[in-house]
Amino acid sequence: MPDKAPSASGFQFELTGGTPCFDFANTVDSRCAPKQRVDNLTGFTALTSWARQSGVVSARKASELTRAAKEQSDAAGRVFRKAVELRETIYRVFSVIAGGGRPSEQDLLLLGSYAQEAFSHMHLIAGGSGFEWSLDQRSRDSLMTLLWPIANSAVDLLVCGDLAKVRECAADNCGWLFMDRSRNQSRRWCDMKICGNREKVRRHRRAVSGTQATT
Ligand SMILES: [Zn+2]
């Protein structure tokens, strides 16, 4: 969870979650500390920028959708609100799983509805070396195409991913999600350089003040 000032354009998102749905959930800094919380998903432009940086859409597609959004500002606003709803649902579902619990039925229904919508716009095609799902022609210009790969990423992880590797950063204020792919399954921080080091400093201060209190 880095210290950065958000801006709609030129902002570099951190992509340390190990899966697009977690990188998307991690577009909020200090999620668990209401007074420090910073939402880096500031609007449709930031959403498009995140999608391009994370690779869920190509740079060309991102430019096309940015142009389309300027001509459909109401639709862009609706898609942005849905993006935030999807992101918060992903966070709740996987935060509960990281803590060993079961997500609510309501959140699963909501997440499933995004994936169902995505699936209804796909068709099966023969690719170069096999078969693949592809967006149907009439849906390619829809602003919602930004959200469908994110929803698919979350549902794929739920249905066939390794949920034992789902973690939430151990820092009190952070709330970032990640896949723990460390060899001994011991990763505790979203990023050792940021939250891990802060915690070390905190522990050191506590230890020093404890020593002083007893002398
Ligand atoms: Zn963290």
Structure confidence by residue, pLDDT tens digits, 137-189 = 888 889 999 999 999 999 999 999 999 999 999 998 999 999 999 999 899 99
Q: How far is the CA of 105 from the centre of ligand 1 (A)?
A: 27
Q: How far is the CA of 169 from the centre of ligand 1 (A)?
A: 5
Whole-prediction pTM value? 0.88
Identify the pLDDT of residue 1.
60
Confidence check: pLDDT of 207 > 90: no
Q: How far is the CA of 68 from the centre of ligand 1 (A)?
A: 35
- Specify the amino acid at residue 110: L
Q: What is the mean pLDDT of residues 201-211?
A: 75
Could you give the CA distance from residue 210 to residue 154 in angstroms, rounded to a whole number? 44
Could you give the CA distance from residue 112 to residue 168 in angstroms, rounded to a whole number? 22
Q: How far is the CA of 173 from the centre of ligand 1 (A)?
A: 8
For residue 43, count other CB atoms closer than 10 A to its CB: 14
Q: Could you confirm whether domain 20-179 is CATH 1.10.3300.10?
A: yes
For residue 122, what are the β-bridge partners? 135
Identify the pLDDT of residue 61.
92
Q: How far is the CA of 106 from the centre of ligand 1 (A)?
A: 27
- Please state, for a pLDDT cut of 70, what percent of the chain lies above it: 93
Could you give the CA distance from residue 80 to residue 73 in angstroms, rounded to a whole number? 10
Q: Extract the tokens encoding 204.
A: 């050191």
Identify the pLDDT of residue 136.
85
* Pair type for strands 131-135 and 166-168: unpaired
Q: How far is the CA of 29 from the centre of ligand 1 (A)?
A: 9
Could you give the CA distance from residue 137 to residue 99 in angstroms, rounded to a whole number? 41
Q: How far is the CA of 61 from the centre of ligand 1 (A)?
A: 31
Identify the pLDDT of residue 195.
87
Q: What is the mean pLDDT of residues 56-62?
A: 93
Query: Residue 172: CB partners within 8 Å, gap ≥ 6?
Result: 32, 33
Q: How far is the CA of 119 from the centre of ligand 1 (A)?
A: 33
Q: How far is the CA of 108 from the centre of ligand 1 (A)?
A: 25
Could you give the CA distance from residue 48 to residue 160 in angstroms, rounded to a whole number? 27
Identify the pLDDT of residue 193.
82
Confidence check: pLDDT of 201 > 80: no
Task: State the virtual CA torsion across 28, 34, 38, 44 in degrees, nearest 10.
Answer: 60
Residue carrying the six token digits 């950065």: 4
- Structural domain boundaries in the chain: 20-179
Q: What pLDDT, in 10s, does the model give residues 119-130?
A: 999 989 998 889
